[in-house]
Structure 1
């Protein structure tokens, strides 16, 4: 698979990650479709292993999602700006503290957004709790799953 094709697959995966944060966009399916495209064009065992792992991870996320509260983020006062901060925090945390850093990064992104908006630490912490109760855990679970898939894909491309 050529460099340009890999960049296009990476772009589809990145769009999927952004799509997780946008209501109505099938972000996790875009991530999976990017991995599928890569596996079909580069039929090595590692590519098929990443595709099977991505399929199982997304299936597991769908099972876990039933136990999480439904997404009612708009009702809680969540804004697109908050989604950008949370996504950027999760993405940065995923690489700064490998894999598990996405969770504190996501929460830290929401906190930073609300701290800048509200100006008080106590109000920002309360806003984080409200956002997470209103469906933030569901968004975090989907984003974390997609980040794991992206990390596996990136690892297979770089070292595979």
Structure 2
């Protein structure tokens, strides 16, 4: 697979990661489709293994998301800017503390946004709890899954 094909797959993965944070965009499906495209263009056992793992992890993520409360983020006061803070926090956390850092990074991003908006720790903490109860946990589960898949793809491209 050529460099430009890998760049395009990476861009679709990035679009999918951003799509998780935007309501109505099928972010996890874009991430899976990017891995499928890569596996079809580069039919090695490693690529098929990553695709199989991505499929299983996405299925498990959907099962987990069905058990969580439905997304009602707009009623909690969530804004697109908050989604950016949460997404950047999750990505930074995922990179700085590999894999598990995405969870505190996501929540830290929301907390930072609310702290800057409200100005006080107590109100920011209460707003974070409200957002997570109103569907933030569902977004976190989907984003975490997509970050795992993107990380597996990147690892397979670099070291495979």
Q: After superposition, what is the alpha-carbon deviation per residue over 1:115-152, rounded to whole angstroms, capped at 9, x for unaligned?
A: 11111111100010000000000000000000000000
- Please give the TM-score of this superposition, normalised by the length of structure 1: 0.99
Q: CA deviation at 1:81?
A: 0.4
1:61-87 deviation per Cα after TM superposition (whole angstroms, max 9, x unaligned): 111111101000001100000000000
Structure 1 residue 39: Cα displacement: 0.2
* 1:99 is aligned to 2:93: no
The answer to whether 1:58 aligns with 2:58 is yes
Corresponding position: 1:2 with 2:5 = no
- Give secondary structure in 1 for the equivalent of 2:74: helix
2:68: which partner in 1? 68
Residue ranges of structure 2 left out of the alignment (5+ in a row): none
SS in 2 for 1:66: helix
In structure 1, what is the equivalent of residue 18 of structure 2? 18
SS of the residue aligned with 2:25?
Answer: coil
1:82 aligns with 82
Moved beyond 2 Å, runs of 4+: none
Using the size of structure 2 for normalisation, the TM-score is: 0.99
Q: Distance in 2 between matches of 1:77 and 1:113?
A: 12
User: In structure 1, what is the Cα distance between the partners aligned to 2:63 and 2:148?
Assistant: 17
Aligned residues: 160
Secondary structure, aligned partner of 2:67: coil
* Counterpart Cα distance in 1 of 2:82 and 2:34: 26
Q: Over residues 19-74 of structure 1, what are the superposed CA-to-partner deviations in whole Å (9 max), with x where a residue is unaligned?
A: 00000000000000000000000000000000000000010011111110100000
Counterparts of 1:76 and 1:101, CA distance in 2: 24
Q: CA RMSD in A?
A: 0.4
